[in-house]
Structure 1
Amino acid sequence: MPCLLYLIFVIITVAFVTTLIALAVPVWQDSSVQTVMSSVTVKTYTYSGLWSVCTRTEIVGMDTLSCDTYLEDAIDYPGSVKGVQAMMIIGGALSAAAFVAIILKWCCFKTSDILGKIVSILCIGAAVFLLIGAIVWSTKVKKDQGFDAKDLNAGFALTIIAAALLLVAGVVVCFLES
């Protein structure tokens, strides 16, 4: 059992760090559009994440980049982004709580069954919130420009990985404590 508890600790730690990185990564979605105007090719790349939207435009040797931050620039951003931000923050808080709880279980309360159940609930709850955030984000992408999996990027993928790890950890701890 100590080896399995150590493995769960490692899984929860990796999931927690992955969740933090997913929250911080500026690219959850990217897309590009190429148009030709009067024999001049204009390429526009858009990168968006939970906290900002950046647009880079390339016109014959000129490259311009403009970024708008959701929280600072007072741009009107969709409610779906606000919902994803909320789900990710709640999922991150629950994964942090699971991380603290597994440390307590591992170091101080090795025989506590209730703490194991709390770790399980926190892990599964965090996974659910992270998955809801990812689902809402992917439906936003589908609504905005037609769904194409290549438009989803690092932040989205890291969220799915963290949710899967937390779900596995939660289920294993649940059965470990039974």
Structure 2
Amino acid sequence: MTVEEFEEFYAHAVARLTGQLYVMLGDLHEAQDVVQEAFVKGWNRRRQLDRDGQAEAWIRTVAWRLAVSRWRRRRRTSEAWRRGTVQPAAVEGPGPDHLVLVEAMRDLPQQQRRTLALHYLCDLSVDQVAAETGLSAGTVKTHLSRGRAALAGRIEDPHDPRTARPSSEEAPDA
């Protein structure tokens, strides 16, 4: 089938095929979509369609199969949504210790913050931090050391008697 012959076939058959699929599917928009898609697939096979002499039957069959595939896909999606109604686990907000750490780290230089977070929170080795940040291993170690020193003066450990503040009950008599 030449390009002109296929265009003529399309012009004469599209309305008829759309009507037939509309009756089969009960949805005009769906019928229009699958018939158009079937004609697109038929375009690449126009020479074979001409030899078979069943071009209209081929387009109708392909359109029907496309509609069935769409139904199946929608049904699987719908079932997946129904099955997947499990709510994600609730994530607790940050505790007081985390808030203290974040507040203390805010005052650190950006590279120290990043290095400390990658090493201690993401559990990366010095070499992994160096690879991710593009710094040398020595520079990473320097940032870690300086960052720890800076944080030591800002964060109080309630379990360490050297840094714990006395509570109001333990306050010395004035």
TM-score normalized with structure 1 length:
0.26
Choose 1 or 2 for highest CA Rg: 2
**Which gives a bigger RCO, structure 1 or 2 (Cα 8 Å, sep 6+)?**
1
Larger helix share, 1 or 2: 2
Higher strand share: 1
* TM-score normalised by structure 2 residue count: 0.26
